[in-house]
Amino acid sequence: SMLEAAHEIDIDLEGACEGSLACSTCHVIVMDMEYYNKLEDPTDEENDMLDLAFGLTDTSRLGCQVI
Ligand code: FES
């Protein structure tokens, strides 16, 4: 996932629930529309958690759910 990839290159992205969709601390904002459009659509569970994320945008995703 993007969360794991971030950790591998020492980017300090939080992931309090370790990818079990029980937090929104891994919130990322995808800046590249082309890349965003290539991603699988978020599941309902991801969307529910995203709703709780601080500073939600149209291209917000949960880092642990994005491959
Ligand atoms: Fe908790 Fe992604 S690490 S939802």
User: Which pLDDT does position 67 carry in this prediction?
Assistant: 87
| ipTM value | 0.98
User: Which pLDDT does position 53 carry in this prediction?
Assistant: 96
Answer whether 23 contacts ligand 1 (Cβ < 6 A). Answer: yes
Q: Long-range contacts: 43-52, Cβ < 8 Å, 24+?
A: 45/21, 46/21, 49/21, 49/22, 49/23, 49/24, 50/24, 52/24
User: Which pLDDT does position 6 carry in this prediction?
Assistant: 96
What parts of the chain have a pLDDT lower than 50? none
Alpha-carbon distance 8 to 37, whole Å?
A: 24
Answer whether 53 contacts ligand 1 (Cβ < 6 A). Answer: no
User: Which pLDDT does position 59 carry in this prediction?
Assistant: 98
- The vertex-14 CA angle with 21 and 6, nearest 5°, equals 100
